[in-house]
Structure 1
């Protein structure tokens, strides 16, 4: 009768662990099963010591994995919080972004470009939502580095363009070789849009991800 009771007790522990609604057994469930195994072993044929030692090692490894997972979760949460604080600290500051898409809202804005090396010719251009080039300028400063200009929202014919979304592009060459270059947009951070996709910096030139920010510039009046 005692063996039946022991078996039922062990089965009950196993059933409780497997039907607890969890998608996987945790370290507590694993320990529970080990304890039940020791309590219900046959005194005349006890559990093999080597096997039991291996199970203890498995439990120790399992516990370490859970601890590592908890530490990673905490680190991820701390990193997200630090990024949010960093984004909040940028409100009121001028940022330079390397995103090619920007918004024009009837106010002059700072457009620029960055040359990785010196060039001897090139052009900076703006395209509208349909992909048509509406404004372009030959590069006047061809040295390596960042260069900016003020755009008043007029096209190549001097017509005022409507407010909306635009794309900034650049082509630069040194002889027949293409020079690596990126378009830049400088704008002041007005606020932070916090959502599930990440923190977005809200500016007069559109919204940008924190990862798009090249650097923060000294505020200009």
Structure 2
């Protein structure tokens, strides 16, 4: 599996690389100075070799400057991402996200069906991945539907899953959504996360944004 590179991990790698380059740079200068000091006057360092060594030294110095520039760019990117995401506060969002917290014994999701389904089964899993409830979806027609579960006797994060089939038993396109008003923005590991209802989800999962409506009621 390829490790995802975030701004934090990238900065860490740049810092490590800069430390190594700086150490090599100092070592190179020391060796070059010692070489010039102790060279045989009757057989001095070849000018071409000396020029090549100076070119290498300049390359190391340029890499150090490049690393500092990359760090500055990553830092600015993080601040810019937070400022940009903050513009979404107050808007109504729809995200492909299935995890939410139970509040007052309830948890609310939405689900979308790509076509009319003959069967549509919902499952709710707790944070340990165990199924704590399952049953038929209340609406099996094409489109987006809301679903509220009132069996959350224990606080925590729960995840909704859906499986839908047509009359021939063929699987239908279906996905779980989180919908609601964006009330906050946070940065985690260089990525912007939004607070939508009782969910905290990555900005990258948002598929729709709308101007906030005066009333944001949902049916289940």
Q: Structure 2 length normalisation: TM-score?
A: 0.67
Q: Say if 1:97 and 1:186, in contact at 8 Å, map to a contact too.
A: yes
Q: Say if 2:120 and 2:165, in contact at 8 Å, map to a contact too.
A: no
Q: For residues 27-52 of structure 1, give each alpha carbon's deviation from its aligned partner in whole angstroms, at most 9, with x where no partner exists.
A: 46634643554355333221112211
Aligned pairs, how many?
A: 190
- The partner residue of 1:61 within 39, 52, 59 is 59
Q: Which residue of structure 2 lines up, in the alignment, with residue 70 of structure 1?
A: 68
Q: Which residue of structure 2 lines up, in the alignment, with residue 131 of structure 1?
A: 131
The alpha-carbon distance between structure 1 residues 200 and 119, as it changes in their structure 2 partners (threshold 3 A), is: same
Q: Say if 2:119 and 2:165, in contact at 8 Å, map to a contact too.
A: yes
Larger radius of gyration: 1
Q: Say if 1:97 and 1:185, in contact at 8 Å, map to a contact too.
A: yes
Q: For residues 68-113 of structure 1, give each alpha carbon's deviation from its aligned partner in whole angstroms, at most 9, with x where no partner exists.
A: 3222212211221122112322222222222221123249876323
Q: Which residue of structure 2 lines up, in the alignment, with residue 216 of structure 1?
A: 209
Distance 1:61 1:219 in 2: 54
The Cα of 1:134 is off from its aligned counterpart by 4.7
Gaps of 5+ in 1: 1-21, 156-160
The Cα of 1:65 is off from its aligned counterpart by 2.0
Gaps of 5+ in 2: 1-18, 216-220
Q: Structure 1 length normalisation: TM-score?
A: 0.67
Q: Say if 1:101 and 1:167, in contact at 8 Å, map to a contact too.
A: yes
Distance 1:74 1:31 in 2: 27
The Cα of 1:55 is off from its aligned counterpart by 0.8
C-alpha RMSD over aligned residues: 3.3
